[in-house]
Amino acid sequence: MPSVPVAPYITAWSAEQDLPCVLVERPDHRIGYANELLSDRDRHGVLWQQTALRRGVGRPEFARVHPLRQRRAMELLLCQVCGGPADQNDDGVLWLQRDHSDDWPQWPEGMASVEPPVCLSCVPVAMLLCPALRRGAVVVRVRECPIAGVRGALYRRSVLAPSAVTAGNFAYDDPAVRRVLASALVRELRGCTLVPVEENATRLGL
């Protein structure tokens, strides 16, 4: 088994708090920052939550995901645990998911995922670091995983400043995404093949 990191690559640390950016209304009816930079938006024009980059400083906060590292891992298909390239073969990119096969008959086909993929050697590490995965997990090979949108908070107009009203997933072609402050990139999983962890322990190195 590979050495276990202190925390997965995408985990936020206690020194990585959200930056004090002031939200404003733009003339084009989008939300924006008062002192906005080009890097504050992705290539689709969606505004992103700005968080300090101080990985390894303080303590890992396993319940929080760092927006920039999650976005980078999803864009480049990097392992969410070590930050290296995710495993890929003829069957597709490797994902490790909690077992929600009772959610719908073809699960996880068509699922909108905010969890980046993994590399083969980090599967046992992820199982060790994430208590939720110990309650049931499956390895998924995904042939197609197009970027579909973002997860974030939707803001409405308010008297003083834009006000958050709800959180969820928003497709890039949804007009509402113009008023979303994104915190995670979403990929849609297509062409999925389930590889139950229990039946493939030897091949996965568990």
The predicted model gives 100-122 an average pLDDT of 92
Residue 4 clears pLDDT 80, i.e. is over it: no
Question: What proportion of the chain, given as a percentage, has pLDDT over 70?
Answer: 92
Closest alpha carbon to 150 in 45, 17, 63, 21? 45
Report pTM: 0.89
d(CA 17, CA 195): 37
pLDDT band at 137 (very low <50, low <70, confident <90, very high): confident
Can you give the pLDDT at residue 133? 77
pLDDT band at 202 (very low <50, low <70, confident <90, very high): very low
How many CA atoms lie within 13 Å of 176's alpha carbon, on the beta-carbon side?
16
Helix boundaries (H) for 58-205: 67-76, 123-129, 131-134, 201-204
Helices and strands (H and E) in the chain: how many: 4, 13
Can you give the pLDDT at residue 205? 47
Handedness of CA 66, 44, 173, 33 (dihedral sign): positive
d(CA 108, CA 110): 6
Q: Which two tokens stand for residue 76?
A: 């480049």
Can you give the pLDDT at residue 177? 97
Residue 92 is which amino acid? G
